[in-house]
Amino acid sequence: MSISHELKSDDLTDQLPQSVQATLGSLEDVMKDVASRAATNQRDLMQVDHVVTNLNTMVTDTNHTVEESVDGISQMAERLTTVAAHVEEVEAETGEVGHVAESSRSYAQKALGDITRIEEAIKGLDEKTRKVLGISSVIKEVADTTNMLALNASIEAARAGDYGRSFSVLAKEIRKLADQTREQAQNIVEDLDAVMRQLDLARTVSNQVGKSVEALNGVVTRSHDSFTAIGQVISDAAGQIAETAHLGEQQQEHMSRVAGTFNTLTKDFHQVAEQLNQITDHVKETALSMEYGYSELAEYKYQGMVPKARQAAERAAREAQEIMEAKIAAKLSQKSLVLSLGSYQPIEREGIRKLGHYFDVSAVTDRESLDPPKYQVPYEGVMEDDLNQMVQRYIEQDRTWILFSVVDLNGYVLACADVDRPALKGDPKLDDRNRFKRLLPHPSWVRGARTGLGERVEWLPNNLNRDELKTHGAGLKRPATPLSPMIQTYIRNNVTVMTLLSTPLYVADERFGAIMVAWQ
């Protein structure tokens, strides 16, 4: 937090009565204390607000994640239910196929039995046919014999003459009957031979069909066994999927309850954030009131620390200018290098050990880099010693000053008193107190370094070069009318409330930076 006030040249007026100055001094002390407490409260509230905002964001994100999880689990449960239904259908269809396979196996076994019985019937018919064939042979032999006997009877009848004529006729008829019998017996034999051939063919076909049915029976049996196993696997899978779907529904219920809880927490955090925003707004209003009050107090404080600090800072600016221009004249550096801006290189390794010339670095000589970082400039080591001695002399001449520094337009600390150059300990929090060769980013510090260049330039980042500053409208030549100093109420390390006065510093009529002076 900082409260700035540009000191006008007519602020140096006659001294007010001592009683009024004493009252103003007491009022200033009270307002500093209130300002310090207000700044501390504001800082704490801002930190709490930041934490609550982060928590609010985290809870909101978590709430969204939970809602997405609930949706995902709902979709998963629906898909599992659908899959379970499909599995049940497949299981039913597989069972039906198993029943069909079982029926096919039964039919195949029955057909195999029928074929076996057919083969047995064909075998019996073959045997009977062979018997009939034997009988036909006997009939044929009988017919041949009868024919031979009829022939003999005819011969004997011819010998008998008229007495044997009738017997001759009878013998002819018997011979005809024997011929017909022989022909019929021959036909029976031929028919039986054809039947035998058909029976042989039927037997062959029956055997082939029997083998095919046996093979089919084996395939159906294996298919039945396979479908039975598949049905068991699908049945088990259906059970597991159904159980998983049930668990998914339970998880969905739990996540829904969690989502409801997070919704409630989100609403609560929003309410807390709104309350903190209101408190922060009140604190800001108080700080603005303090700024106005302190500005009014600064207008009345004509005599005292402000004129004294202004006088010291302007004298130090002239002395620093002489030191720097003398270094340039002695060709120890060049004007272009001294006025270069933005060319900062981190101090590392060997550079850290060289810093031992200015303060104790024994605790960090083994480090690759420093935290917070320090930087070297193009005119490194040319004028630091003389400028450090100058500001130290001002501190020793008047112990009122708690800070006395030489900085460039980016707030780079080129020189400072011993109090701001303590030994490095390797602890970032402790080493933050060492300001030497640091680019201090605090807005009040950067504004002070750019005193008189206008608010548009004062609030720019602290890593710009001269051309970039000119692009934003900064006039870097020494003006005909001297620029007024800037006074700010500065909270140092978020603890100490101090007044910071900044006055411009020039080298060869070009703006280099500023002299910073502070007191409590």
Q: What does the pLDDT look like over 336-347, one tens digit per residue?
A: 999 999 899 999
Phi, psi for 323 (deg, rounded to 5): -60, -45
Q: Answer yes or no: are the C-beta atoms of 491 and 291 closer than 8 Å.
A: no
Architecture (CATH level 2) of domain 69-268 = Orthogonal Bundle (1.10)
What one-character DSSP code corresponds to residue 344?
A: -
Is the pLDDT score of 103 beyond 50?
yes
Phi, psi for 177 (deg, rounded to 5): -60, -35
Predicted TM-score (pTM) of this structure:
0.49
Region 149-158: mean pLDDT is 69
Q: Answer yes or no: are the C-beta atoms of 285 and 43 closer than 8 Å.
A: no
Is the pLDDT score of 407 beyond 70?
yes
Q: Is the peptide bond before 482 cis (omega within 30 degrees of 0)?
A: no
What residue ranges of the chain are covered by domains with CATH 1.10.287.950?
69-268
pLDDT band at 455 (very low <50, low <70, confident <90, very high): confident
Please list, residue by residue across 227-266, b when 16 or more beta carbons sit within 10 angstroms of its beta carbon and e when fewer do: beebbeebeeebeebbeebeebbebbeebbebbeebeebb
Is the pLDDT score of 218 beyond 80?
no
| pLDDT the model gives residue 301 | 47
Indicate the range of 28-32, 262-266, 273-277 predicted with least confidence: 28-32
pLDDT, tens only, 26-71: 656 655 565 555 555 555 555 555 655 665 666 566 566 656 655 6
pLDDT band at 303 (very low <50, low <70, confident <90, very high): very low
Residue 405 burial (CB < 10 Å; 0-12/13-18/19+)? buried
